[in-house]
Chain A
Amino acid sequence: MVGKDFDVLVVGGGASGLISAIYLAKKGLNVGLIKKASGATQMTSGLFDVLGYMNDELVFNPIEGIKRLTKEKMGHPYSIVGEENVIEELKEATSFFKKIVAEANYSYEGELSKNILTITPLGTYKPTCLAPKWMYLNVLGFRKSKLLFVGVRNYVGVNPVYVARSFNSFLLPSLVKIDKEVEAQAEATYMYVPGLEEGAATSFDVGIALDDQENLKEFASRLSKDAKGVDFLFLPALGYKKPMENQRYLKDELGTEVIELPSVVPSIAGRRLTLALEDAAVKSGVKVHDACKGLSAIRSNGECTAIRASYGGSEIEMEASAFILATGSYIAEGLVMEKNGVKEPLFEIPISTPPNETYSEWAKKEPFPSAGHPSSFFGVNVDKTMRPLSNQKVFCDNLFACGSILAGYDYATEKSGLGVCAVTALIAAKEAGEYIK
């Protein structure tokens, strides 16, 4: 293995690529990572879903839910990891994830044995497992709680009046059905954020403005009157670099719990998570190549030897002993939907789709069906070592895949996105490390 650029080359800059790269770098391997842009993780809400629904039923304990799932859904990545291993691997993956983001000053809270229900900026609730410390809140815990949703007048993404009224008349009745003890009343108010009084603002502007100590201080004093008697105060963004410190400060100043709502696209929380993982990757020694798009793979004798990539406009070849494919799903173009089939453009791993069908059969009649669209389940099939399969045979001995490129699950309807990413990333990394020994 003399003269290779890297021990392992990871392709993809989203959560699964970064987690696997960091894991291997921390083991002392020479790891390269190429990404054409910051991955689709930055479009996510910041919530770390593990398994929120199983056959349309709310999952309260993801561990129990996954145990059931591995018995019922054979092609699911959790099932491929295996009934006997998946919980332990998931525990390791989530604690590894928590540890590496904490090193980048980004704390996630939550336990694998418990899902919480969070309020979304659309005035709905969703189950999730882990969340940034300042976002972690279980609405089922409300007991005679007074909630105040604070909007930023010139940021249109989150409308506090909509969320508050929706909470009272749409959410509360369904929450009471889940737990009759739940009792709460929501109100709304609007504020301008100091330093951000003119023009239209984004959630990023709000976060950045609040990172300034003077602005934050002034903002707290503007909120103080409305915050009286309030148990939980919700904001669309708490900070860009310092959400945790800002939460602490506002909590102390206002004497109320202060919670950041999950982000809606363009997502400040998704961006922050990506930055935290990128930061952790660089610090742990991963050689990150941004604006580097994988074009094709060079293979010989059942092994991949190098990736041909476009890097800053010129074509280069990057050699490695093992490769991790973490290029994501349709959004990030790890998978490309064509009229008559699905392509994996980098390695050209065959993606199986039902014969004699085309795009029009792969979408259900309604846009958001509770069991997902057939197209969501297409992807790279792997064995339990995360090696991609082609016709049930290993496609390439030194290639491993992880994250949303995998077949057999639908992160959107199961609410299982980062859970699947993290556990498959961990296993891909372990197996790649094993392979090059």
Chain B
Amino acid sequence: MEKKSVVVIGAGSTGAATIRDLSMRGIDAVLLERGDLCSGTTGKCHGMLHSGGRYVPQDKEGASECIRETKILFKIAPHLIEVTGGMFVGFEEDEKADPNFKDKKLQGCKECGIPVEEISVKKALEIEPSLSPEITSALWIPDEGSLHEFHFVCYMCLDAKRHGADIRPYNEVLEILRDGKTVTGVRVKDHIKDRIYEIRSEAIISASGPWAGKIAKMAGANVPINPTPGVMVVVNRRVVNHVINRLRKATDGDIILPHHTTAIIGTTSWPVDDPDKLPTPKDHVERMIKDGTRMIPIVEKCRLLRAYSAARPLIGLKDVPGRDISRTFEAFDHEKIDGIKGFITITGGKMCTARAMAEAAVNLACNKLGIRAECTTDKEPIIGYDEEIDVAKLSEEYGLVKLYTQRAVDRLGPLTRKALDPIKSAPYRGCWLCTDEFVTRAEIEYAVKNLWGHYIYDIRRRTRQSMGTCRGGTCSHVVAGIQVEEFNWDPVDVHADLMSILKLRWAGDKLLLWGDNLRQYKLNEAIYSCLGNYDKLGKGLPFSMPVFGELPW
């Protein structure tokens, strides 16, 4: 029987931060995730690095946590964030609705220690030329930006692995084992190896976001969690260079921010019972486009790549509207709440406060285990960031076009050298297979070997292959070939996996299937139906990945 001091459930930002914290304190721990790393809420979030400005004046607690943690991320994760600065922009209708809102926002920011400055409309338009000239007021908040969610999670896991932790994606907790009212371990299904096993542990930390209620129930405990989804729409271009918020009480469709090569518009808010059943309603998508266009008029003319929804893990009561629930987090000690010994839930919060959430949960676990170890996660950079990478030099060394090296550095940061090194002895590994996101074969192989990439859909998270304008059409079959050639996949399984990623991409594309998106689809159809004949031969192929809840088609 396998034994661990602590089992962490859920590999989103909170779970990854928790396993990192545990391992850095020398605690023997394992991270279990039913799907891929970052495949839940974190993987589908806005990717926003919050100053906290969005949550004042109504939620000063949540806002203060955001600014404190964002400043820590500046130090420990400079390669995972893009600090662009942000603006709050108001329109005439916003001022009419609440004439004092701007002053309340300014005052709230001041109270929470969030740097803010009122700027003229002229200045705002100079900073962000794509803004609507109809704005009537603007605030500048320097500490805003985006956080590369997948790499944030993945590199915290790498850090944990370096400190001795065990990271197990596709290992689903089926049951929480108890001895009376004390948790003693978990029964787990390994979906890849298709086996069921048990782990004994002294404590279990559930870091399962909107699934926290489901997991707590397994332990006989209770968490007041409201899964509250929101819809997001991805614009094909970086139509903004800064995070743009609407200067009004937080509501639907009031954020648009730059994210890698795209911009993301968000979002809506409605309660659901089950985070595994998330629709992306058409009227929400249309509202996002309309609201995004109000702030950034060219949005309407742009190609919109994809729409999707993700569930926020809001803590609170069922009858309180999602927008009014604090974004603060809470570590639940179930021994005190429900009398379930050894079980902790950490949920609520934001991606950017993951580290603080982990600290709170691990402190609690340490108390229970009688371990005295200090948290150092706010001091040590994630995966030992130190090196400035010279893109020109590296390009020459590997014989790569500089753009490819630069994009690899954007994704891989300090791991770039390790990922691209095989190109030196085998130059063909430097061949590109994605001209949207500029991905080389070496990076695909590194993602499988070193970053827990298993299915093609997972490789996408690590490399951004298929996230560009081709929607997976031109690159996915190439990755399928690599899976067979390098990683010995059975071709039948790879055909199924290839169809699976294309189905998942399609689920987001088909919500926006007009204009150039339809044209792109028709090109992919030319490859996979017209030539590949998958419309006929693919009929019997199963969905390759384990399915939780509902498939989006």
Contacts and interface: CB of A to CB of B under 8 A. Distances in A.
Contacts of A200: 430-432
Interface in A327-385: 329-331, 333, 336-339, 359-360, 362-363, 365-370, 372, 375
Contacts of A282: none
Contacts of A264: 477, 527, 531
A213 interface: no
B503 A44 contact: no
A413 interface: yes
B530 A411 contact: yes
B533 interface: yes
Interface string B421-456: 000000110111100000001000000000000000
B285 to A, nearest CB: 9
Contact of A43 (B432, B491, B523, B538): B523
B526 interface: yes
Contacts of B399: 198-199
Interface in B384-431: 399, 427-428, 430-431
A12 interface: no
B368 to A, nearest CB: 48
B370 interface: no
B371 to A, nearest CB: 50
Interface stretch (B18-26, B263-271, B334-342, B514-522): B514-522
A45 interface: yes
B528 A368 contact: yes
B538 A368 contact: yes
B515 A154 contact: no
Contacts of B553: 365-366
B428 A153 contact: yes
Contact of A44 (B482, B484, B494, B526): B526
A367 B506 contact: yes
A191 to B, nearest CB: 11
Contact of A174 (B433, B484, B505, B537): B537
A170 interface: yes
A370 B535 contact: yes
Interface in B457-504: 473-474, 477-478, 480-482, 484-485, 490-492, 494-495, 499, 502-503
B110 interface: no
A12 to B, nearest CB: 16
A368 B502 CA distance: 9
Given A120-B531, A265-B526, A156 B441 contact: yes
Interface residues of B, number: 55
A339 B515 CA distance: 8
B536 A169 contact: no
Interface in A302-324: none
Contact of A412 (B506, B525, B537): B525
Contact of B495 (A44, A47, A123, A363): A123
Given A159-B478, A162-B480, A412 B529 contact: yes
Contacts of B282: 360
A161 interface: yes
Contacts of A370: 535-536, 539
B277 interface: no
A166 B532 CA distance: 13
B280 to A, nearest CB: 11
B514 A338 contact: yes
A272 B531 CA distance: 17
Interface string A175-211: 0000000000000000000000011110000000000
A121 B498 CA distance: 14
Contacts of B514: 337-339, 359
B511 interface: yes
Contacts of A157: 478
B513 A363 contact: yes
A368 B535 contact: yes
B3 interface: no
Interface in B259-288: 282
Nearest to A333: B519
Nearest to B553: A365
A415 B505 CA distance: 24
Given A162-B484, A265-B526, A126 B535 contact: no
Interface in A3-61: 43-45, 47, 49, 53, 56
A169 B521 CA distance: 29
Nearest to B498: A122
Contact of A369 (B502, B524, B535): B535
A289 interface: no
B427 A265 contact: no
Name the prevailing secondary structure of the A interface residues: loop
B101 interface: no
A124 B534 contact: yes
A331 B524 CA distance: 11
Contacts of A45: 530-531
A47 B533 CA distance: 13
A50 to B, nearest CB: 14
Nearest to A43: B526
B510 interface: yes
B530 A159 contact: no
Contacts of B491: 123, 162, 165-166, 168-170
B532 A156 contact: no
A67 to B, nearest CB: 21
Interface in A119-167: 120-127, 153-157, 159, 161-162, 165-166
A239 interface: no
A166 B495 contact: yes
B536 A53 contact: yes
A303 to B, nearest CB: 32
A155 B433 CA distance: 9
A243 interface: no
Nearest to A331: B522
Contact of B522 (A124, A329, A365): A329
A170 B498 CA distance: 14
A368 B534 contact: yes
A417 interface: yes
Interface string B537-553: 11100000000000001
Contacts of B530: 44-45, 49, 411-412, 415, 417
A262 interface: yes
Nearest to A158: B481
A82 B478 CA distance: 42
Contact of A359 (B431, B490, B513, B525): B513
Contacts of A44: 526, 530
Nearest to B518: A337
Given A123-B491, A337-B518, A368-B538, A159 B484 contact: yes
A125 B495 CA distance: 13
B519 A330 contact: yes
A339 B525 CA distance: 20
Nearest to A58: B536
Contacts of A415: 530, 533
Contacts of A122: 477, 527-528, 531-532, 534
Interface of B: 282, 399, 427-428, 430-433, 441, 473-474, 477-478, 480-482, 484-485, 490-492, 494-495, 499, 502-503, 505-506, 510-511, 513-515, 518-519, 521-539, 553
The 3 closest A-B pairs by CB, nearest first: A159-B481, A367-B506, A162-B481
26 contacts: A44-B526, A122-B531, A124-B534, A125-B537, A126-B532, A153-B428, A155-B431, A156-B441, A159-B481, A159-B482, A162-B481, A162-B485, A170-B492, A262-B531, A336-B515, A337-B515, A339-B514, A360-B511, A366-B503, A367-B503, A367-B505, A367-B524, A368-B525, A375-B518, A413-B535, A415-B533
Given A359-B513, A362-B513, 9 more contacts: A53-B536, A154-B427, A161-B485, A200-B431, A262-B531, A338-B514, A359-B514, A366-B503, A413-B535
Interface of A: 43-45, 47, 49, 53, 56, 120-127, 153-157, 159, 161-162, 165-166, 168-170, 174, 198-201, 262, 264-265, 329-331, 333, 336-339, 359-360, 362-363, 365-370, 372, 375, 411-413, 415, 417
